[in-house]
Amino acid sequence: MQVCLAKPSFYAWLAALVLLMPAFFGPATNAPAQAAPVAFIALPSPDANTPLYDGWNSVSLTFANDSPIEVAADAIELEAALDSIWRFDAPSQTWDGFDPDAPPALNTLDTLNMGDIVLILVHAVPGPLPAPTQEVEVEVVADGLAFPVSMAFAPDGRIFYNEFATGQIRVIENGAVLSEPFAQLDIWFEGEAGLLGLALHPGFQDNGLVYVYHSYRDTGSIANRVVSLRAQGNQSAETDLILEGIPGHSLHNGGILEFGPDGKLYVASGDSFRSDLAQDLNSPAGKVLRLDPDGDVPADNPFAGSPVYSLGHRNMFGMAFRPQTGALYATENGPSGNDEVNLIVAGGNYGWPAVAGTGEISGLTDPIAVYTPAIAPTEADFYMGEVYSEQYRGNLFFGSYIGGLLTRFFLDDDGEIVFREALLNGEYGPILDVATAPDGLLYFSTPTTIYRIARLRGP
C-alpha cells in the first residue's frame, strides 16, 4: 500500500480536508480526542509506484496479514515524527487506532488491508523539510598529523589540537602546523587511554585558558584528569588541576570536554571497563559531569554536592549544545552495536549497564537514535555558521570511527529527528572530531589529517 504525505505547505488545506471526512464517510464517533499539530489524510494509491498527488512526499507502509507494519521513509523520519495512525472502519463508521492519551506504537494497530482509509497524525516541523545534500566539497587543512583526536578553535582562527598518543597539544596558524608544541603533557597511552578532550574557555580571548582531559598512571592503575593551561601566545605558561581521579582503563575513558551556554564545564567520562560504576553516584565514571571552570561543584547540580549531571553511560565520544535551546546532545558507543545519540537532561539515567540502546524502562532515558550494527559515533557539533545554505543551520553533525560517516540530523522544535543523512561514507577514513570554525566552515579530523568542508549544496 502506498501512503502519501503532504508537504508542510499544505497544512491548512489538509486540516480542512480532515474536517470534511465525516461528510464523505459518515460520522467518526471514535475520532481522536486530541489532535497533533498537523493531520495528514492518506489514501491508498492504485499504483504503488505512483504517488496519489504529484509533489507529495511519499512514505510506504508495507504489510502482510497478521504481520507487524514495516515503515520505510526517505522524505521524513516517520518513526520520530509519528503521533498516531487511525483507520476508518466503514461498517461501524468509526476510527480505529490508538488511545490519544497513550504513547503510540506502530505495531499496535490491527492489520491494514488494501483499500483502507488511513489518517496519520504527525508532529509539525518548522518550514519545509530539508533536501538531501547533492554536493560535498572537502579541502585539506593539514596532513601528516599524529592522530588529532580533538580540536578547538581560537577566535583568531588558530586551531589547537591534541595528539592522542604523544601528549602534545599543537597549534595550526595561518595554515601551517607550528614546529614547537603548545604543551607537552605527561600522559599514559594505552589502548583508548591517552590525551583526549580539548576545549577553550569561553573567555579564551581574555584569559587564554585551554582545558584538556588526559589519562595518567596513578599508583599502578590508569586514571584520568582534567587540567587547564594558560596560553601565552603559542606556548603554555602554567597548568592548574581541575579534576583528577576519574577511573580509567585501557578502554572506555570517554574524555570529551564542552563548555555549556551556562558557562559551566561539562565532562564526559567512560565507565573505565567497569560497567557497575556507571550507576554509582559516588564514582565519576560513566557520567556526564558538570563543573565550574575552576573545578568547583555548582550549587544547582542535580545531585547536591556532586559533579554528576547524568549517569548510566558506557563510553561517550561526543557532546554538543544546541544553540536554539541550550539542550545537550551526546554520542555514545554501545557493546556490539546499540550505539546511541542521547539528549542529556539533568539527573537523567541512561540505563547502562542494564540497557544498551532502547529499553523503554520506567526511570531510564532512551536515546533519540540507535545504530546497529555499530558505527562508533564520535564528536559532534551544531552548525550555526552562515557559509552553507540555510537548511544546514542548526543541524547536528557528528562523525563515526567505523565507516567514516559524517551524519547530519535535522531536529524539530522538540528535539525529535525528522530528517537524517550521511554526508560522507568513508571516503576520508575514520572521523575523530567535528567542529565549526570561526570562518563558518565545518572541520573534521581523521587519524592523519584535518579537513574542512568548503561547500555543501542541496538541490
Residue 243 in any domain: the answer is: yes
Residue 129 in any domain: the answer is: no
Cβ–Cβ under 8 Å, residues 73 and 59? yes
320-329 tens-digit pLDDT: 999 999 999 9
Per the annotation, the verdict on 123 as an active-site residue is: no
Residue 32's region, left for phi above 0, alpha for psi from -120 to 50, else beta, is: beta
Together in a domain, 179 and 45 = no
Joined grid coordinates for residue 329:
546532545
**pLDDT tens, N- to C-terminus, the chain (459 residues):** 223 233 332 222 222 223 223 322 333 333 332 222 233 333 333 333 333 222 233 333 433 333 333 333 333 333 334 445 555 566 666 555 544 444 333 333 444 455 555 555 544 444 556 778 889 999 999 999 999 999 999 999 999 999 999 999 999 999 999 999 999 999 999 999 999 999 999 999 999 999 999 999 988 899 999 999 999 999 999 999 999 999 999 999 999 999 999 999 999 999 999 999 999 999 999 999 999 999 999 999 999 999 999 999 999 999 999 999 999 999 999 998 999 999 999 999 999 999 999 998 999 999 999 999 999 999 999 999 999 998 899 999 999 999 999 999 999 888 888 889 999 999 999 999 999 999 999 999 999 999 999 999 876
Residue 127 in any domain: the answer is: no
Q: Which helix (H) or strand (E) holds 184?
A: strand 183-184
The residue to which cell 540497557 is assigned: 355
Boundary of a domain, candidates 75, 101, 122: 122
Range of the structural domain that residue 92 is part of: 2-122
Together in a domain, 229 and 316 = yes
CA distance 286 to 312: 6
Count Cα neighbours of 415 within 13 Å in the Cβ-side half-sphere.
18
- Encode burial over 274-292: b for 16+ CB neighbours within 10 A, e otherwise: bbebbbbeebbbbbbbbbe
Together in a domain, 72 and 219 = no
- Give the CA dihedral 242, 320, 424, 456, nearest 10 degrees: -120
**Which residues are within 8 A (CB) of 80 and not within 5 positions of it... i.e. 6 or more apart?**
368, 416, 417, 418
**Which residues are within 8 A (CB) of 92 and not within 5 positions of it... i.e. 6 or more apart?**
none
* Number of C-beta neighbours around residue 369 at 10 A: 22
Question: How many Å from the N-terminal Cα to the C-terminal Cα in the chain?
Answer: 29
Tell me if residue 207 falls in helix, strand or coil.
helix
Together in a domain, 52 and 96 = yes
DSSP 78-109: HHHHEEEEEEEETTTTEEE---TTS---GGGS
CA distance 397 to 47: 37
- Residue 371's DSSP bridge partners are 339
For residue 373, cis peptide bond before it (omega within 30 degrees of 0): yes
Together in a domain, 140 and 94 = no
Together in a domain, 73 and 202 = no
Residue 13's region, left for phi above 0, alpha for psi from -120 to 50, else beta, is: alpha
CATH number at 425 reads: 2.120.10.30
CA distance 284 to 245: 8
**Which residues are within 8 A (CB) of 339 and not within 5 positions of it... i.e. 6 or more apart?**
331, 332, 333, 370, 371, 372, 374, 375, 376, 377
- Helices and strands: H and E segment counts in the chain: 3, 32
Residue 389 in any domain: the answer is: yes
Cβ–Cβ under 8 Å, residues 105 and 78? no
Together in a domain, 174 and 94 = no
CA distance 392 to 378: 20
Supply the pTM of this predicted model: 0.77
- Residue 370's DSSP bridge partners are 340
Boundary of a domain, candidates 122, 148, 164: 122
For residue 353, cis peptide bond before it (omega within 30 degrees of 0): yes
Together in a domain, 366 and 315 = yes
Residue 84 in any domain: the answer is: yes
- Residue 93: its pLDDT value, please? 60
Residue 408 in any domain: the answer is: yes
- Residue 117: its pLDDT value, please? 56
Boundary of a domain, candidates 122, 151, 183: 122
Residue 99 in any domain: the answer is: yes
Catalytic residue among 214, 249, 252, 313: 252
CA 424 vs. chain centroid, Å, equals: 16
CA distance 395 to 416: 12
Residue 128 in any domain: the answer is: no
- Residue 22: its pLDDT value, please? 30
| DSSP strands (E only) in 219-276 | 221-232, 235-247, 254-259, 265-269
Together in a domain, 139 and 114 = no
Joined grid coordinates for residue 334:
554501545
Tell me if residue 415 falls in helix, strand or coil.
coil
CA distance 302 to 319: 19
- Encode burial over 111-145: b for 16+ CB neighbours within 10 A, e otherwise: ebeeebbbbbbbbebeeebbeebeeeebeebbeeb
Count Cα neighbours of 30 within 13 Å in the Cβ-side half-sphere.
13
- Residue 194: its pLDDT value, please? 98
Q: Which helix (H) or strand (E) holds 17?
A: helix 11-25
DSSP 277: G
Together in a domain, 106 and 178 = no
Together in a domain, 93 and 168 = no
In the chain, the number of structural domains is 2
Together in a domain, 139 and 118 = no
DSSP 331-371: EE--SSS-EEEEEE-TT-B--TTT-SS----TT-PPPSEEE
